[in-house]
Copies of this chain bind each other. A is one copy, B any other.
Amino acid sequence: MGMVGGGKDAFIGAIHRIAANMDGQIELVAGALSINEELARESGKMLFLPEDRTYLNYEEMIHAEAKMPADKRMDFVTIVTPNFAHFAPAMLALENGFNVVIEKPITFTIDEARQLKKKLDETGLMLLLTHTYSGYPMVKEARQIIKSGRLGKVRKIYVEYHQGWLSKLSEREGNAQAAWRTDPKRSGKAGCMGDIGTHAAHLAEYISGLKITQICASLNVVVPGRLLDDDGGVLLRFEEGATGVLTASQVAAGEENALKIRVYGEHGGLEWAQQEPNTLTLRWLDKPAETLRAGNNYKAWESSYATSNCRTPGGHPEGYLEAFGNLYHNFARALSAKINNEKPDQEWLDFPGIEDGIRGMAFIDNVVASGQSDKKWFDHVV
């Protein structure tokens, strides 16, 4: 793995490194860790990177690594820069034969995302989009339960993602995270909806197996002086007649990272909340509610998606880093199978990719357009 961005003090870069590293299959071998030279060098040292693979920009890294022998050079490039700086390194990596791991939202514009898809189709390379929450074992279990039909036809989906960390104008108070995420030039058209609304939308589609078809959005700039939405609510219509509601907020003061989803079908419903991720609650019309618990010794439902994404037995809580690790682990196994010309297990392929990236960009475009419009229902065209 070679990393673009994520120098020391960057939040998400460190997360990616722990996640990639978790199962002992992936090693950080190269990095263009900062556009600041000194920082790039320091970060490389801190991470025990050899000096000659501590690059000062991504072009240098990609070109240099491409020239190395196959068994030496990095297998893929991980891009953890702010949104506006996703596309260029991703495209260059693909052009030079490297697979790509990339943060969401995938690019700055949907057009860029479409160009990446085209290149992926041409090259046959692989891309992992880190919609972390789909890496949780009980999220995978939820998806399998819906798929199995046990809850009946899906009728209703509530998904919410509430944070409070932007309750003040922190972008003007030296918070670097806040600064770029609320800046249209670095973040894109949407603030809250791009940063966390896309996660919520992805999760709703991932678990329910249904695509959003129409939206009616109300976006708000709650904190005076902010340049992008920091809050919003969206009425949703899905395929097959299901409906739903998505809310996302970064001004829900006191909330940490409260992503929660509930899906109801004809016979019952399920509920999962990211902050207690090892529990999945099933409620039924005609019998007591059931509490499913993550663990690699989990036997209650026959799906192996949950168990194969756990490292410990039930009661030894795994969390966010492990979920993130699952994305990398599955990606690595799928990549390894491809490299070795083996048929990958279906479960290894269960990670978000370019299609999810394009849908996410369309969600941003459409939700912003809907938010500005007097028309009630917008087709969620992708």
Contact = CB atoms under 8 A, between A and B. Distances in A.
B283 A253 contact: yes
A320 B48 CA distance: 26
A224 B66 CA distance: 60
A155 B232 CA distance: 12
B253 A267 contact: yes
A254 B268 contact: yes
B218 A243 contact: yes
Interface string A238-259: 0000011101010111111110
Contact of A374 (B24, B48, B322, B376): B376
A97 to B, nearest CB: 24
Among A23, A282, A322, find the residue whose CB has the most chain B CB atoms closer than 10 A: A322
A247 B373 CA distance: 22
B284 A317 contact: no
6 contacts: A15-B311, A21-B21, A233-B235, A254-B264, A254-B282, A316-B319
Interface of A: 11, 14-15, 17-18, 21-24, 28, 47-48, 151-152, 155-156, 158, 160, 163-165, 167-168, 216, 218, 220, 222, 231, 233, 235, 243-245, 247, 249, 251-258, 262, 264-269, 274-278, 282-293, 295, 299-300, 311-322, 373-377
Given A24-B28, A253-B264, A290-B291, 11 more contacts: A21-B21, A165-B313, A168-B285, A231-B243, A233-B243, A254-B269, A256-B295, A275-B278, A288-B293, A312-B320, A319-B319
